[in-house]
Amino acid sequence: MTVDKALFVVHLHDARRLHFDLRLEHSGVLASWAVPKSPPLKHGEKRLAVQTPDHPLEYAGFEGTIPEGEYGAGTVTIWDKGSYEPLVWSDDKIEVTFKGEKLKGKYVLMRFKRAGEKEWLLFKAK
């Protein structure tokens, strides 16, 4: 990969349901996943991550309220942010090293094909 470090942000998003949005800078946008439970902080914990539409890079610093009637309506706060080093980025697997305040170390997003096209598993690797 040509990028040594890129930014990431995890938004706590109080929309229809409280969830976390994991966003990774990639190819000029924020590749995004909704994580219904908090991102795993310990090895062995696995979380469902549902891929959502890419967001503009400027959204990385957003905190505030998205008005009713708009996509993602609700309150958005930054739960964690920092940089990450991409190790693998393929159609079915993304492996990164996070350097955030809460997320630190190697993490893997693995496409969970049996569950559906947009479903991934997020876990902390050894």
Integer angstrom CA distances of residue 6 from 15, 31, 60, 86:
27, 12, 12, 8
Cα separation of 57 and 116, whole Å? 27
Res. 4 pLDDT band, cuts 50 70 90? low
Report d(CA 77, CA 15) in Å as an integer.
11
Model pLDDT for residues 36-78, shown as the tens digit of each residue = 999 999 998 999 999 999 999 999 999 999 999 988 899 999 9
Please give the Cα distance from 48 to 71 (Å, whole number): 21
Question: What does the DSSP assignment read for 68-106?
Answer: TTSTT-EEEEEEEEEEEEEEEE-SSEEEEEEEESS-EEE
Checking DSSP bridges between strand 18-26 and strand 74-89, what pairing results, if any? unpaired
DSSP, res 28: T
Ordered by start, the domain boundaries in the chain are 6-124
What pTM value is reported for the model?
A: 0.91
Query: Which is it for the CA torsion 106, 21, 119, 26, positive or negative?
Result: negative
What is the predicted pLDDT for the residue at 109? 97
